[in-house]
Structure 1
Amino acid sequence: MNVPLAVEATDVTKVFGSVRAVDKISVRVAAGEVYGVLGPNGAGKTTFLRMLFGLIRPDSGTVRVLGKTWDEDGVGVLDGVAGFIESPRFYPYLTGRQNLAGLGLLDGGLRKGLLEEVLELVEMTDRADHKVGGYSYGMRQRLGVAASLLREPRLLILDEPANGLDPAGIRDMRALVKRLADSGLTVLLSSHDMTEVEEICDNVTIMRRGTVAFHGTIASLRTMAPAPGHVLATTDDHGALALAGQHPGVAVRRDPEAALVVTGTQPDVSAYVSALVRAGIDLLGLTATETPLEALFFMLTDGDADAAANADTDLEVVR
């Protein structure tokens, strides 16, 4: 017996006036995986997630969630589905526990012990009896995940769950998503942060202006990534540029906002830096720019998808 895909969207399009928010995109999420929908603001990520929840309907194409469609099954599509779009909202004058208990009643009641289980899972047991009005933004995000888990879903959909969090909150949210994934739950999340997706997702769709720029695994994406770059500061930039000609494994260029930018693999960059020192050129600083995957993300979403595609023609890159 074949297990239905958690999400199967085929040639989905949504138009608002003159804006094609989503343009013939196809996304397939297998049961049990952590799937990322990545793209800059305005790429169409939230519009796509809204269609999964039935908050808006596609103008064309088909959306199946856990094997069901809105046309065939109506609100039954949401059986086994939970999550939130943008930021979750709660009554600020009630405690976290009271908010969750109320949501449970609205959804038909909770099995015994479930509320405590989800509070422990999101690590909020010690703050559950404090009023939500005093929660930090990160705590409200975690409470939103807790509210979603009350439905004991098979598919959890999260719209930029780490957006707006401080570094500690981002770390905690990533750890929470990893714990949920380890439990066998299917997680579909959107993000504009390549690092977040790289750390926790199995597969990814990168969107650009409503279209798909890339489908595939994180491992495949890494094979497309350009060599890492470093900002280089020396006591003799002219000499450093000249010496770069003897090291074909690196590319050195001047940058308007920095002295020099060196691009190459780590061994090649290390060999070049050693050569600078031997030549008597003092190294004042060597700072990494964006990671290779971040650089690739900008290539794919800023319009240079063809250049990224040429890095590996065997990958499924959709323009």
Structure 2
Amino acid sequence: MSEVLAVDAAEITKTYGSFTALDRISIKVAEGEVYGLLGPNGAGKTTFLRMLFGLIRPDDGTLEVFGRSWDKHGVAVLDGVAGFIESPKFYPGLSGRRNLQLLAGFDGGVASERIDEVLDIVDLTDRQRDKVGEYSFGMRQRLGVAASLVRDPRLLILDEPANGLDPAGIRDMRALVKRLASSGLTVLLSSHDMGEVEQICDDVTIMRTGTVAYHGSIATLREQAPAQAHRITTTDDDATEELAHGRGLEVTRTGDGLAVHGSQEDIDALITDIVGAGIALRGLDLDKTPLESLFFMLTEPTPDAPAAEIDIPMTSGAHR
């Protein structure tokens, strides 16, 4: 694998008047990995992706794509780079195939076989002659990926590719990204969904209001995640809370019961205690996954645990 990073951003800062969109963030993406840029809306994800495409420039810091920078190499930075910011746009009155042909023309055109290939990759071969205006939102997202792949890129950048999709569309998009990654393509995608990133990405940077809350591997992040929480509703929540504390479990009051954190074995033992005490169990559901809980801890500060102070080790450099 090349030692040149696909993306090497160091101490990037971007301000708009008194508003700081990015505050000295550093992100390093190795070739051949699927990298997630995760954070709630307004965290600065799209601002950073716009910089990669040269749509905006940083006020400070350095940014290189495959060793090239906008200051030194200009538009050549985009050689081998493709993707889309927010949702891709097409001519609705033209077919999916015709849209791809027109877009390919901006790069000097491609062989018809390449159009066939990318349509097959995104599972749109059967609908290629239909007008894009007749496509579902998920199909238009996949057509956006196809338009990016026409360039045969080394780096594919996707901004919230599953945003707005129904469950079936999310499943299809995840499967598509996994297929692309298995081919050796470097993928950098942004998302506000921890579950999506966990299933797709090797490494991740979690952002909060323009700063980096964590960057490193998903495996390391998973090791730091809190225990799984279960939502438990009974006829006597006070007594249930005492039983949980008796087993050393962490309990949080919710609007409709208790959130109990612990291993599956501990929860099973607690349920046995509840039933044995003659308390009726009215509800038992999984709460947020451990990584989702950690994501909210990192990005949504509370008086007891400000997000910036959660002690999770962050690694530097590329992660493969």
TM-score by length of 2: 0.94
CA deviations over 1:190-214 (Å, ceiling 9, x no partner): 0000000000000000000001000
Partner in structure 2 of residue 268 of structure 1? 266
- Contact 1:220–1:315 (CA<8 Å) still a contact in 2? no
1: CA distance, partners of 2:4 / 2:218: 23
Hey, what does 1:15 align to over in structure 2?
Answer: 15
Structure 2 unaligned regions, length at least 5: none
1:306 deviates by 4.9
Deviations 1:178-199 (A, max 9, x none): 0000000000000000000000
> What residue in structure 2 maps to residue 67 of structure 1?
67
1:5, distance to aligned residue in structure 2 (A): 0.3
Question: What's the offset of the Cα at 1:95?
Answer: 0.3
Match of 1:80 in 2: 80
Q: Which moved more, 1:27-36 or 1:264-273?
A: 264-273
- SS state at 2:310 partner: helix
Which segment is superposed worse, 63-72 or 144-153?
63-72
**Which residue is 2:307 aligned to?**
305
Map of 1:3 onto structure 2: 3
Distance 2:97 2:224 in 1: 46
Q: Kindly report the root-mean-square deviation, in angstroms, between the aligned alpha carbons of the 2 structures.
A: 1.4
Secondary structure at the aligned position of 1:245 is classed as helix
User: Relative to structure 2, which stretch is displaced further, 30-39 or 238-247?
Assistant: 238-247
Structure 1 residues 160 and 308: alpha-carbon distance in aligned structure 2, compared to 1, 3 A threshold: same
CA distance in 2, matches of 1:12, 1:239: 52
- Separation in structure 2 between the aligned mates of residue 48 and residue 34 of structure 1, nearest angstrom: 17
**Helix, strand or coil at the partner of 1:113:** helix
Answer yes or no: is 1:46 the counterpart of 2:46.
Answer: yes
Q: How does 1:1-319 map to 2 (within 5 A)?
A: 2-248=2-248, 250-255=249-254, 257-303=255-301, 304-306=306-308, 308-309=310-311, 312=312, 314-316=313-315
Change (3 A) 1:59 1:164: same
- 1:316 CA drift (Å): 4.1
Q: For structure 1, list consecutive stretches of 5 or more residues without a partner in the other structure.
A: none
Per-residue deviation, 1:307: 5.4
Residues 202-252 of structure 1: CA deviation (Å, up to 9, x unaligned):
00000000010001000011111111111111122232122223211x123
SS at the partner of 1:254? strand
Moved more, 128-137 or 237-246: 237-246
Q: How many equivalent residue pairs?
A: 312
User: 1:2: how far off?
Assistant: 4.9
Separation in 2, partners of 1:55, 1:31: 23
Deviation at 1:109, TM superposition (A): 1.0
The whole-number CA distance in structure 1 between the counterparts of 2:118 and 2:269 is 52
1:156 and 1:245 map into 2 onto residues whose CA distance is: 49
Q: CA deviation at 1:49?
A: 0.3
